[in-house]
Every structure is written in structure tokens, then in C-alpha cells.
Amino acid sequence: MASKSTKPKNKDRLATEERLLSAAEQIIAKHGFKGATTRMIAKKADVNVALITRYFGGKYELLVRMVERKATEKRYTHLAYPVQESITDECLLFVRHRINHFTEDLVIFRVILLQFLTDSKFLKRFQENLEIFERHPEFEERVLTLINNKKMINTIQPQQILDTLEDYIFGVVVGRILIHMGDDTMWEDIEHFVRSYCSSFELKK
């Protein structure tokens, strides 16, 4: 029977899992999922390769956990920009903030998207429970404040605006992955879309 001193402590396991997840993200971003090996990941994390199977069940489950972690990181982000005085300006800065946040990890998202497109099992695993785009309470509260302060129409709910913007943001991120759209063209298209979309929400002076 192993003594208590030989049993891995929970905090040590969590720290090792975190190192493996970070290493997996770096290795998979560089070599792709198929090109990355458990030995490469373990070496990067400076741990025994057997721990990948022990803690995650294998490379595939490690990828699944990595995607889940990345989704959690991207789901809720503090809006660092000031509250805006119009719905158009608020939406423009929100979309810019979210797209910049996602494009920080564009390389790894490219790998994840490729896995979604080529692995039906992987896609099915996440279709129902991967929540990268869902609710953003801070943004919704800002929109509600604009409504309550009579700075925009009151016949649309903040969640409706958020749903439309998040769908659009997802399309932009996928577009950057697939067609490598240049920044200038992308931001021009984004501004045109947001201004057109928000024009009907502004109160006419």
C-alpha cells in the first residue's frame, strides 16, 4: 500500500494538468493535432508521458479538455473600454473587443476548426455543450442602460442584439481563419455592418 507521501496531492495534479494543457496548446498550435505526439507534449510540460494517459485518458481527451478550457477563457471577458453614449458606438467597440480577444489565439482556433471539419466525432462532442458564444451580462447591462436612459429604442432586448453580434463575430473569426482577410478590409466591413445594423435602434433626433 502506498504511503500518503507517495500519493500525488490534488494541488500537484492540478498544476501538472495545467502544464500539460498549456504544453498541448503550444505543440498542437505548431504541429497540428495529428502532428503533435504525447511525447512532444510531455517533453514540453517536463513531465512523464504516462501522466497524459493517467490524467486525461490520451491525446484525444487532452485536446477535448484544451478546447473546453479555451472556450471558458473566451466566454466572458471584461469590457475594458468606457461605456458609450450610443448603441452604435457601444456595439462597434464590443465587436472590436471580442474579435481582438479571439484573434489573439487564431492559430489554435485554426487547428480546432480543422478538427471540427474533419472529425465528426469531435464535432458531435461539442455541438450541444461548447459555449464560447452565449451570454455577456456586462454588455447586456450597458445596452439596458441605454434603453432606460432613452438613448435608443425600447422594442428590442439586449440579448437579441448580443445574439446577432456574436453570430457575426463568429463568422468574422472563421473568415480570418479560412481566407486570411486583411485587417484594413476586415475593420471596414465590420464598421459598415455594425452601423447598418444599429441604425434602426438609434432614436431619431
Q: Write out pLDDT tens, residues 161-176.
A: 999 998 899 889 888 8
Mark whether 60 and 116 lie in a shared domain: no
Residues 12/4, Cβ–Cβ less than 8 Å: no
Helix and strand numbers, DSSP H then E, in the chain? 10, 0
For 50, the domain range is 11-66
Residues lower than pLDDT 50 in the chain: 1-3, 6
Kindly state whether residues 133 and 186 are assigned to the same domain.
yes
Number of domains in the chain: 2
Q: At which residue does the C-alpha cell 461605456 appear?
A: 83
The pLDDT score that the predictor gives to residue 1 is 47
CB 202 within 8 A of CB 152: yes
**Domain CATH for 33:** 1.10.10.60
pTM: 0.76
Distance CA 157, CA 180 (A): 34
Distance between CA atoms of 4 and 113, rounded to whole angstroms?
Answer: 43
User: Cα separation of 158 and 143, whole Å?
Assistant: 6
Same domain as 153, residue 108: yes
Residue 52 CB neighbours (<10 A):
24
Indicate whether 119 and 48 sit together in one domain: no
